[in-house]
Amino acid sequence: MCGICCSVSFSIEHFSKELKEDLLHNLRRRGPNSSRQLLKSAVNYQCLFSGHVLHLRGVLTIQPVEDEHGNVFLWNGEVFNGVKVEAEDNDTQVMFNSLSACKNESEILLLFSKVQGPWSFIYYQASSHHLWFGRDFFGRRSLLWQFSNLGKSFCLSSVGTQVYGVADQWQEV
């Protein structure tokens, strides 16, 4: 399983260019083969993407993956069917290529409705400033979210951290 995370802030004064150390530690444990962070900024928000890969199939694809249009993709999963993945292919790259070929929201939804296997993902669509995320119907790959700073930031992650005395800090998507 990979460790994927996206921290979004709508307030410059509350934005941190680094994840909290305990969250980063938990993410690294999920992906020992590579780790990388990527910062995307716009006028109204900033996103910090963090990917930690456990390499299983095909060529190692370091995450987060970014294309020439500024789209960013994080994937934690395995494609068993629904989208063609050859034995030498990497699921992350195949899914990102498939997403890049989508022309509208309906095609993105259709793509994920076809994927069979355990998965969760985070996809930043730069042209529309949309952040897509989700997981398979059965929830076989974790994806959590946390809201903080009075609605000025939120975080999506495949792992969470526990702060003693604070209830319901991380919740399942």
How far is the C-alpha of 62 from the C-alpha of 67, rounded, in Å? 13
Told to judge if 47 belongs to the known catalytic residues of this protein, a careful annotator would answer no
Comparing CA positions, the residue from 21, 30, 13 lying closest to residue 143 is 30
Of 82, 86, 64, nearest to 73 (Cα)?
Answer: 64
Q: Of 2, 5, 6, 47, which one is the catalytic site residue? A: 2
Angle, helices 105-114 vs 91-101, to 10°: value is 150
Annotated catalytic residues are 2
